[in-house]
Chains A and B, each alone.
Chain A
Amino acid sequence: MPFVRIVVAPLSGFPDGERRIVNVGGRSIGVFRVGSHFYGIRNRCPHQGGPLCLGHVLGDAVADAPGSARISSDPLRIACPWHGWEYDLDSGQSFMGPASPGVRSYGAGVEPGASLLEDATARPEMRVPGPYVAETFEVTIEDEYVVLHT
């Protein structure tokens, strides 16, 4: 399958802490912004099919001994909104034991409009219903865009 870049939103319209859910060829994929980092991950929990990307993004919980717990911002986890099964937001890896499958993750980042306009494979996302409905927008040379690599 050819490498496809999906233009998710203008960078200016995708603030820190937000997420967008896009449909790409029948797959629902969540794009998350944390600080200056972007992450793409499949919006389906392999456990029971829950809408993974509606869940909370959480830092890892680390404890050296009972009671001495703290939160580490690296790596970030996405927790399924149903059972809370967690996956590495970057790699999609599961931490729930050897029998638990991971979830597909995708590259995401920021690219200038100029490079997108030159690339015939780049296309804007499809509109999706639900709590995170995306705006439609035009790609211009001057601006930067959040792009999902699928």
Chain B
Amino acid sequence: MAHVDTQVVETITKRKVELVDCDVHAQATEAMLANYLSAPARRLLERYGRRTPRVTDWYPRARNAGMRVDAWPGKPGHIWGSDPETTRAQLLDEFGVDYAVLEVLSGQDCYDHPDFAAEWNSAVNQWQIEEWLSFDPRLRGTIAVPHEYPSLAVAEIERCAGDDRFVAVLLPASAAEQLGSPKYWPIYEAATAFGRPVAFHTGGYVDHRGPGYPSFYLEYHVGNGIVMQSQLASMVAGGMFDEIPGLRVVLTECGVAWAAALTWSLDSAWELMREDHARLPRRPSEYIRDHVWFTTQPIEEPDDPQHLLWAIEQARLGDRLLFATDYPHWDFDSPKQALPRALGAPLRRAIMCENALALYGLPAERAG
């Protein structure tokens, strides 16, 4: 009888990662988050609800209540984006998403008392862990923080940073002060110390100051890109990138095509005013190049798609763009069709996957 070597063969199949979605919305109901609050905070919520109006209360989303019509979970107690099973079926499975980065905006109000703000954001993060990150290995989280109270925000980052599934710290794109203000630098320093980028997501509480408040959601929504331009100018001019050399920021859901024009205006102004800016020894464009990433949704759609490619090349964003769907919102960008062919296969691959893997340090293969 012949001797046969037996060998245990690893049969776990690995799948090459091809699609990372860098902006997916999970949305918690008050009841869902109440479970994670202390008794006094829960009592406060019971008595007053969320006392700050949501931005949708003054700019009603004019189409489909702001959501994909077909994304309604149809389950008792659930709202758009609250049910992981629906998201898994409609997004992860439907499009073959390998990693999806959740951005839960429920914590972003800036007019809460610090005690409540801290608890509320912790609740958002615990809910993410228990209901989402533990639900599907393709999901990644972002750390919600009470950004108007930087020391509390830093504490929340410290609390959550041990969980590798949190890949970034989440802030809004509008706050009580401009986001380049030194007030917020401790948050950026903490995120950087824990190896996390800071994702600024369109929205937040205080907008439209210089031009006044517009009348329509159309203006508000296009204006999200305008506000982010202004914030990026604040970040550059205020010197935070010089102060925190390792800082990486992700401008989320604000468009990408304006980046070149903003860079030209910053560089032109810097030529005239550089002696006033001790904290800007380098050209603004260089700080943007080194520190700033953009998610793609809602991708601009010029009549000639070649113009989008030009806009990306002019701002040297080829390795700085991160694909995002914004599921389940109405302006969802489909992984199959949102990026025009004119961008070419290598650039599309970089945007759909490679840039995000590099930024977030995600493995290029996953169990399939």
A associates with B: yes
The total of interchain contacts (Cβ-Cβ below 8 angstroms) comes to 39
Supply 19 further A-B pairs (C-beta < 8 A) apart from A48-B338, A56-B64, A81-B70: A47-B337, A48-B332, A48-B334, A49-B334, A50-B334, A51-B70, A54-B69, A54-B70, A55-B69, A56-B69, A82-B68, A82-B70, A82-B331, A82-B334, A83-B63, A83-B330, A83-B331, A83-B332, A84-B64
CA separation between A54 and B64, bound complex, in Å?
A: 12
Closest A residue to B304 by beta carbon equals: A99
B338–A84 CB distance below 8 A: no
Q: Is the interface of B mostly helix, strand, loop or mixed?
A: loop
Chain B window 60-72, contacts with chain A (Cβ cutoff 8 Å), 1 for yes, 0 for no: 0001100011100
Please give, as numbers and ranges, the residues of chain B lying within 8 Å of A79 by CB-CB distance: 63-64
- On chain B, the number of residues with a Cβ less than 8 Å from chain A's Cβ atoms is 14
- B68 nearest CB neighbor, chain A only: A82
CB 8 Å contact bits of B298-315 with A (1 = contact, 0 = none): 000001000000000000
Complex alpha-carbon distance, A111 and B334, angstroms: 39
B75 to chain A, nearest CB (A): 14
Q: B330's contact among A47, A51, A84, by CB below 8 Å, is which?
A: A84
What residues on A are CB-neighbors of B334 within 8 Å? 48-50, 82
Task: Tell me if B336 counts as interface (CB < 8 A to partner A).
Answer: yes
23 contacts between A and B (CB under 8 A): A48-B332, A48-B333, A48-B334, A48-B336, A48-B337, A48-B338, A49-B334, A49-B337, A50-B68, A50-B334, A51-B70, A54-B69, A56-B64, A56-B69, A79-B64, A81-B69, A82-B70, A82-B330, A82-B331, A83-B63, A84-B63, A84-B330, A99-B303
Query: Which B residue's beta carbon lies closest to that of A54?
Result: B70
Count class of interface residues, chain A? 10 to 19
Residues of B within 8 A of A (CB): 63-64, 68-70, 303, 330-334, 336-338
Asked if A82 and B337 make an inter-chain contact with CB atoms under 8 angstroms apart, the answer reads: no
CB nearest to B302 among chain A residues: A99
Q: Which residues from chain A sit less than 8 Å from chain B, CB to CB? A: 47-51, 54-56, 79, 81-84, 99
Q: How far is the CA of A132 from the CA of B16 in the complex (A)?
A: 36
- B333: nearest chain-A partner, CB-CB: A48
A49 touching B63 in the complex, CB below 8 Å, given contacts A54-B69, A83-B331, A84-B330:
no
Q: Name the 6 nearest CB pairs between A and B, nearest first.
A: A81-B69, A84-B63, A48-B334, A48-B337, A99-B303, A54-B70
A81: chain B residues at CB < 8 Å are 64, 68-70
Return B302 CB to nearest CB of chain A, in Å.
Answer: 9
Q: How far is the CB of A71 from chain B (nearest CB, A)?
A: 15
A50, A56, A83, most chain B CB atoms within 10 A = A83
Residues on the B chain within 8 Å of A56, using CB:
64, 69
Chain A hits for B333, CB < 8 A: 48
Please indicate the chain B residues that have their CB under 8 angstroms from the CB of A82 in the complex.
68-70, 330-332, 334
A47 to B68, CA, bound (A): 15
Task: Please report the C-alpha to C-alpha distance between residue A50 and residue B63 in the assembled complex, in whole angstroms.
Answer: 15
